[in-house]
Homo-oligomer: A and B are copies of this chain.
Amino acid sequence: MIIIFEKNAKQNDIQKVEKYLTENKFGLNRSQGKDHFVLGVIGDVSTINTDILKEFSGVENAIRVSESYKRCSRTFKPTDTIVKAGNVPIGGKDIVIIAGPCSVENEKMVHSIATKVTKKGATIIRGGAYKPRSSPYSFQGLGEEGLKYLKEAALENNVPCVSELMSADKLELFEKYVDIIQIGARNMQNFTLLKELSNTKKPIMLKRGISATVEEWLNSAEYIVSGGNPNVILCERGIRTFENSTRFTLDLSSVPVIKKLSHLPIIVDPSHAMGNRKLVLPMARAAIAVGADGIMVEVHENPDKALSDGPQSLLPYQFETLMKNFKIIANAIGRKIYELD
């Protein structure tokens, strides 16, 4: 950590900071520049908040040289983490395809879609049972009944399933029914919930908050990992910008950025950000090319009748074409699409 003092900072103020740091067993390196006095702090600074240091009189800025997260950083663990969802490995050489409806609407529809997408090559199925809706007047999901239908459809097709958890009081239910617990963008900084998730061993798919920096996202993952659950999968789903021709701006560069900073697997969900299936198709292909460890897409047999997010759902025949594209693109970058034995 580097502490930059204000021009003409008082000696007395500098000494107070030095005293604080030496009392906390940090080493110091002093450097007087043309205008600013600069202090280098030596030791394990992951436990200091830079804000604490910016508080001291005379301090202009405190800049972290190492990351604020630790267990999630590639420095801490240089090799890629592979998270197992049932028997499906996420984060290795193979790319995993997750597909299914936005919401579980009824028993029949989830079975039908699950069968179609797994036949075409999806190896994990998805479906929402508790829906985070910005308006209280929108469809809120089937609840436990939805989870049950999803699980049955997964078992029938011999694949794991993923669904979104919205609050800690339903954690036990999710441990019973799902193989990956999804945490939505709006809960990425629900720290109370994150702490609870460190007490399960179930894989957690942590979506990026709609205006979260990559650093904040990794700090949220750190809550789960440092608390005892190393099975975290990151999921890029778009950030909020001024552009309004798409719902969110899918930040595909976060994939190589995460690969550089962290050992955790990262997948991409292009459906919600695009909000339109014609845009989902090319962005899904691009997500494979950029190096994602998996793709999650919404598929619906009759999107015009969907109870939520219909226009972004792919039709089964589009999903089939996409899978063919995926195989060639994965090959171009030396990877392959994961297949069940």
Q: In the complex, are the beta carbons of B220 and A134 less than 8 A apart?
A: yes
Q: Known interface pairs A51-B310, A55-B311, A213-B244. Does A282 touch B256 (Cβ–Cβ under 8 Å)?
A: yes
Within 8 A of B (CB), among A292-341: 303-311, 325, 328-329, 331-333
- Asked whether A86 is an interface residue with its Cβ less than 8 Å from the other chain, the reply is no
Q: In the complex, are the beta carbons of B304 and A283 less than 8 A apart?
A: no
Across the interface, which residues of B come within 8 angstroms of A305, CB to CB? 55
Who on chain B is nearest to A325 by CB? B332
Q: In the complex, are the beta carbons of A167 and B138 less than 8 A apart?
A: no
- Asked whether A84 is an interface residue with its Cβ less than 8 Å from the other chain, the reply is no
Q: In the complex, are the beta carbons of A304 and B252 less than 8 A apart?
A: no
Instruction: Produce 1/0 per residue, A17-36, CB < 8 A to B.
Output: 00000000000010111111
Q: In the complex, are the beta carbons of B304 and A57 less than 8 A apart?
A: yes
Task: State the Cβ distance, A194 to closest chain B Cβ, in Å.
Answer: 8
Q: Which of A41-49, A92-100, A109-117, A148-156 contacts B (4 or more CB under 8 A)?
A: A41-49
Instruction: Produce 1/0 per residue, A108-137, CB < 8 A to B.
Output: 000000000000000000000000111111
Q: In the complex, are the beta carbons of B309 and A51 less than 8 A apart?
A: yes
Q: In the complex, are the beta carbons of A251 and B243 less than 8 A apart?
A: yes
- Asked whether A273 is an interface residue with its Cβ less than 8 Å from the other chain, the reply is yes
Q: Known interface pairs A211-B211, A219-B135, A303-B55. Does A252 touch B328 (Cβ–Cβ under 8 Å)?
A: no
Q: In the complex, are the beta carbons of B34 and A44 less than 8 A apart?
A: yes
Q: How many residues of A contact B (CB 8 A)?
A: 114
Across the interface, which residues of B come within 8 angstroms of A65, CB to CB? 4, 33, 35-36, 38
Q: Known interface pairs A34-B66, A54-B311, A239-B249. Does A289 touch B189 (Cβ–Cβ under 8 Å)?
A: no
Task: State the Cβ distance, A24 to closest chain B Cβ, in Å.
Answer: 14
Q: In the complex, are the beta carbons of A189 and B132 less than 8 A apart?
A: yes
Q: In the complex, are the beta carbons of A245 and B214 less than 8 A apart?
A: yes
Q: Known interface pairs A51-B311, A241-B241, A286-B252. Does A34 touch B38 (Cβ–Cβ under 8 Å)?
A: no
Across the interface, which residues of B come within 8 angstroms of A56, CB to CB? 304
- Asked whether A278 is an interface residue with its Cβ less than 8 Å from the other chain, the reply is yes
Q: Which of A171-179, A199-207, A222-230 contacts B (4 or more CB under 8 A)?
A: A222-230
Q: How far is the CA of A44 from the CA of B49 in the complex (A)?
A: 31
Q: In the complex, are the beta carbons of B34 and A42 less than 8 A apart?
A: yes
Across the interface, which residues of B come within 8 angstroms of A211, CB to CB? 210-211, 240, 242
Task: State the Cβ distance, A102 to closest chain B Cβ, in Å.
Answer: 10
Who on chain B is nearest to A4 by CB? B65
Q: Known interface pairs A283-B252, A287-B286. Does A246 touch B242 (Cβ–Cβ under 8 Å)?
A: no
Partner of A332, one of B135, B138, B169, B285: B285
Task: State the Cβ distance, A330 to closest chain B Cβ, in Å.
Answer: 9
Q: In the complex, are the beta carbons of B304 and A55 less than 8 A apart?
A: yes
Across the interface, which residues of B come within 8 angstroms of A57, CB to CB? 304
Across the interface, which residues of B come within 8 angstroms of A307, CB to CB? 52
A-B CB contact pairs (8 Å), 22 listed: A16-B304, A29-B33, A31-B40, A33-B66, A34-B66, A35-B65, A132-B191, A136-B191, A136-B219, A187-B190, A213-B242, A240-B242, A241-B242, A246-B257, A249-B249, A250-B253, A253-B274, A282-B290, A282-B291, A285-B289, A286-B287, A328-B332
**Beyond A52-B307, A167-B168, 4 additional pairs, beta carbon < 8 A:** A55-B303, A55-B311, A245-B254, A289-B329
